[in-house]
Amino acid sequence: MARTDVMVLGAGIVGTSVALHLAKRGLSVALIDRDAPGEGTSYGNAGIIEGNTIFPQAFPSNWGTLLSIALKRSPIANYHLAFLPRVAPWLLAFRAASEPGRLLATSQAMRPLFARAVSEHEALAAESGAERYFRRTGWLKLYRSDRTFAGLARELELAKSLGIAYVPLDHDGVRALEPSLAPVFRHALHWPGAVSISNPLAVTQAYLARFTALGGVSLAGDAGTLHRINSHWRLDSASGPLDAGEAVIALGPWLPDVLEPLGIKLPLAVKRGYHRHYRGKGNASLARPVLDADNGYCITPMEQGIRLTTGAEFAARDAPPTPVQFDRLLPAARELFPLGEQAETRTWLGARPCFADSRPVIGRAPGQNGLWLACGHAHWGLTLGPATGRLIAEMMTGATPFCDPAPYAADRFIR
Ligand SMILES: Cc1cc2nc3c(=O)[nH]c(=O)nc-3n(C[C@H](O)[C@H](O)[C@H](O)COP(=O)(O)OP(=O)(O)OC[C@H]3O[C@@H](n4cnc5c(N)ncnc54)[C@H](O)[C@@H]3O)c2cc1C
Q: Give 268 Cα–ligand 1 centroid separation in angstroms.
A: 14
Q: pLDDT above 70 covers what percent of the chain?
A: 100
Quick check: 319 and 226 in contact, CB under 8 A? Answer: no
Given the CA of residue 15, which atom of ligand 1 is nearest to it? 25
Tell me which residue has its CA closest to atom 20 in ligand 1: 381
Give the pLDDT of residue 47: 98
C-beta of 254 in contact with ligand 1 (< 6 A)? yes
C-beta of 273 in contact with ligand 1 (< 6 A)? yes
Low-confidence stretches of the chain (pLDDT beneath 70): none
Give the pLDDT of residue 222: 97
Q: Give 39 Cα–ligand 1 centroid separation in angstroms.
A: 8
Question: DSSP secondary structure string, 274-291?
Answer: EEEEEEESTT---SS-EE
What pTM value is reported for the model?
A: 0.98
Given the CA of residue 384, which atom of ligand 1 is nearest to it? 11
Q: In this structure, what are the phi and psi dihedrals at residue 208, rounded to the nearest 5 degrees?
A: -65, -40
Q: Which residues of 141-157 are buried (b: 16+ CB within 10 A; e: fewer)?
A: bbbbeeebbeebeebee
Give the pLDDT of residue 415: 74
Give the pLDDT of residue 318: 98
Tell me which residue has its CA closest to atom 26 in ligand 1: 252
Give the pLDDT of residue 414: 86
Distance CA 142, CA 168 (A): 10
Q: Give 376 Cα–ligand 1 centroid separation in angstroms.
A: 9
Give the pLDDT of residue 1: 72
Q: Give 168 Cα–ligand 1 centroid separation in angstroms.
A: 32
